[in-house]
Structure 1
Amino acid sequence: MQSLTDLEKKLLEVRKLQSQVDKKKAELDKQIRQLLQNKSELDKLMEQARQKESLVQCQIVELKSLEVRTHPPEVEYFATGASKSLQNNLLNLLSGNGSVAIRLLKHQQQINPGKSANWYWEKVIYDLKRDRHC
């Protein structure tokens, strides 16, 4: 009978171990479910991020096309060597009217040949400001 008690003890130990294994398995299953839920949430966030990135890319393209429209090719020709701040300043004074800017720059080139690009832009800006303050 003594051996039966030893077997019963071992059976109890096996059952305890089986119970511990079942508990660990349940914990791992719970963690796996949580990880899958987190993955699903991350996938949703990634999709939202891709959509926002796409929207921003579209806005950048749109802004670049607007920038090109506010600086006609002729103005870019005259802008060679002129600083961006001068270009923006003149176009702001003329409410974005590039054709007027071209006309004024060409006129200054005709009456003052051989000057630097910045000089022509500065002269036109100076004259516009001077004439508006009279």
Structure 2
Amino acid sequence: MQSLTDLENKLLEVRNLQSQVDKKKAELDKQIRQLLQNKSELDKLMEQARQKESLVQCQIVELKSLEVRTHPPEVEYFGTGASKSLQNDLLSLLSGNGSVAIRLLKHQQQINPGKPANWYLEKVIYDLKRDRHC
């Protein structure tokens, strides 16, 4: 049979081990609380990010709709779709200055979107002739 001191020593060892287990458990509990707090903060940040993303998506849709209204599709004024005689008439009225012709045509396109190329050419020619006769 073991002596009383051997048993006491074993009991002391068990108590030391129990104490170490309790300390580890307390550390783990603290880490779990910290992780839960971090998770809560991350959840809040994720919700804020979702809200901001939604707001940005709405702004993008808004800007795209504005872009469609402010920047109508390019019309090829001096391409295959437009009348060569109208192109020549316009350039003749402007002494061959193509950049001024393009600027005038683009201006008409901004204020009258959706018309065919010949319409813009006719309108600019009409306005130039009208203004020269005033």
Superposition TM-score, scaled by structure 2 size: 0.57
Deviation for aligned residue 1:94 = 18
Aligned in 2, Cα 1:96/1:59: closer, same or farther, shift over 3 Å? farther
| Whole-angstrom distance in 1 between the partners of 2:96 and 2:63 | 15
Q: Which range moved further: 19-28 or 101-110?
A: 101-110
- Residue 58 of structure 1 is matched in structure 2 by 58
| Whole-angstrom distance in 2 between the partners of 1:65 and 1:31 | 50
Aligned in 2, Cα 1:128/1:48: closer, same or farther, shift over 3 Å? farther
Q: Work out whether residues 90 and 125 of structure 1, in 8 Å CA contact, stay in contact via their aligned partners in 2.
A: yes
| Whole-angstrom distance in 2 between the partners of 1:51 and 1:131 | 54
| % identical equivalent positions | 95
Larger Rg: 2
CA RMSD, aligned part only?
A: 10.3
Deviation for aligned residue 1:98 = 19
Give the helix-richer structure, 1 or 2: 1
Q: Work out whether residues 105 and 121 of structure 1, in 8 Å CA contact, stay in contact via their aligned partners in 2.
A: yes
Deviation for aligned residue 1:108 = 11
Deviation for aligned residue 1:3 = 1.0
- How big is each residue's C-alpha offset from its partner over 1:70-122, in whole Å with a ceiling of 9 and x where there is no partner? 12458599999999999999999999999999994399999999999999999
Aligned in 2, Cα 1:99/1:73: closer, same or farther, shift over 3 Å? farther
Q: Which range moved further: 84-93 or 55-64?
A: 84-93
Q: Which range moved further: 12-21 or 66-75?
A: 66-75
| Whole-angstrom distance in 2 between the partners of 1:18 and 1:32 | 21
How many residues are aligned here? 134
Aligned in 2, Cα 1:18/1:9: closer, same or farther, shift over 3 Å? same
Q: Which range moved further: 58-67 or 78-87?
A: 78-87
| Whole-angstrom distance in 2 between the partners of 1:70 and 1:57 | 20
| Whole-angstrom distance in 2 between the partners of 1:22 and 1:92 | 97
Q: Work out whether residues 75 and 101 of structure 1, in 8 Å CA contact, stay in contact via their aligned partners in 2.
A: no
Q: Work out whether residues 80 and 117 of structure 1, in 8 Å CA contact, stay in contact via their aligned partners in 2.
A: no
Gapped regions of structure 1 (runs ≥ 5) = none
